[in-house]
A and B are shown apart, each in its own frame.
Chain A
Amino acid sequence: MTARRLVRAVAAGVLGVGLVSTVGGGLAAAVEGPSPFPLNVEVEGTTATSTGGAARGSSSSGPGPSTSVEDDTEVNGSGDAAAESPEFEEDDTIDGILAVGGLRMSYRPSGNPFAGVMHVQVTVQNLSDEVIEPTVAFSLTNWLGMQLAESRERSLGKLAPDELRSTEVDLSGVGQWAFVAAHMTLTPPEEVGGVEVSPVTRDRWVLATPWFLLGLVAVAIGGVAVWRYSTRVPAVAAAGAAAGATT
Chain B
Amino acid sequence: MTLLIEEKIEPSPPERSRRRAPKDARAPKPPKPPKPPRRVPRPRKASRPLTPMQATLRMVSALLAILLLGMTLYLMVFSRLTHVIAQDRLNDQLREQLSEGTAPVSEGTFEDVLLQDGAPVAQLRIPQIGVDETVAEGTTSGVLMSGPGHRRDTMLPGQFGTSVVMGRAAAFGGPFGRLQELQPGDKISVVTGQGEHVYEVIGVRYAGDPAPAPITFGEGRLVLVTARGPAFLPSGALRVDAELVSDVQAPGTRATTHAGLPKAAQELQGDASHLWALVFALQALVLVEIGAVWTYRNIGARQTWIVFLPVGLLASLAAADQLTRLLPNLL
Contact = CB atoms under 8 A, between A and B. Distances in A.
Interface stretch (B17-25, B139-147, B181-189): B181-189
Contacts of A48: 105, 249-250
B89 to A, nearest CB: 7
A61 B212 contact: no
B112 interface: yes
A240 B252 CA distance: 84
Interface in B177-215: 179-185, 191-196, 201-215
Interface in A114-165: 122-125, 127, 143, 164
B310 A19 contact: yes
Contacts of A78: 251, 253
A24 interface: no
Contacts of A169: none
A55 interface: yes
B148 interface: no
Interface in A14-59: 15, 19, 22, 26, 29-30, 32, 35, 37-43, 47-48, 52-59
A21 to B, nearest CB: 12
Interface string B54-94: 00000000000000000000000000010011001101101
Contacts of B239: 88
B297 interface: no
Contacts of B306: 12
A61 B112 contact: yes
Interface stretch (B1-9, B33-41, B45-53, B276-284): B33-41
- Taking residues whose C-beta sits less than 8 angstroms from the other chain, chain A's interface range is 35 or more
Contacts, number: 280
Contacts of B37: 236, 239
Nearest to B235: A203
Given A35-B92, A61-B253, A79 B160 contact: yes
B116 interface: no
Contacts of B127: none
Contacts of A93: 210-214
Contacts of B223: 87
Interface residues of B, number: 100
Given A39-B191, A54-B102, A99-B203, A164 B310 contact: no
Given A43-B195, A83-B215, A90-B208, A164 B184 contact: yes
B73 to A, nearest CB: 15
B218 interface: yes
A74 B110 CA distance: 24
B91 A61 contact: no
Given A60-B112, A104-B183, A41 B194 contact: yes
A166 B99 CA distance: 42
A54 B95 contact: no
B162 interface: yes
A99 B202 contact: yes
B290 interface: no
Contacts of B217: 75, 79, 83
A224 interface: no
B311 interface: yes
A243 interface: yes
Contact of B203 (A42, A100, A181): A100
A108 interface: no
B160 A38 contact: no
B211 A77 contact: no
A243 B250 CA distance: 90
Contacts of A86: 153-154, 258
Contacts of B201: 101
A244 B33 contact: yes
Given A205-B229, A235-B40, A55 B108 contact: no
Given A38-B95, A54-B110, A243 B36 contact: yes
A218 interface: no
B38 A64 contact: no
Contacts of B254: 62, 64, 85
A102 B181 contact: yes
Given A52-B112, A86-B153, A101 B85 contact: no
Given A53-B110, A59-B108, A35 B95 contact: yes
Nearest to B313: A19
B113 interface: yes
6 A-B pairs with least C-beta separation = A64-B253, A61-B108, A82-B161, A102-B180, A99-B203, A101-B183
Given A91-B208, A100-B205, A164-B184, 7 more contacts: A48-B105, A54-B109, A55-B98, A82-B251, A91-B210, A124-B184, A235-B40
28 contacts: A22-B314, A30-B88, A32-B92, A39-B91, A39-B98, A41-B194, A47-B105, A48-B250, A53-B101, A54-B109, A54-B193, A60-B108, A62-B107, A62-B254, A69-B248, A77-B251, A83-B161, A83-B217, A87-B154, A101-B201, A101-B203, A102-B182, A102-B183, A164-B184, A181-B230, A235-B40, A239-B39, A243-B36
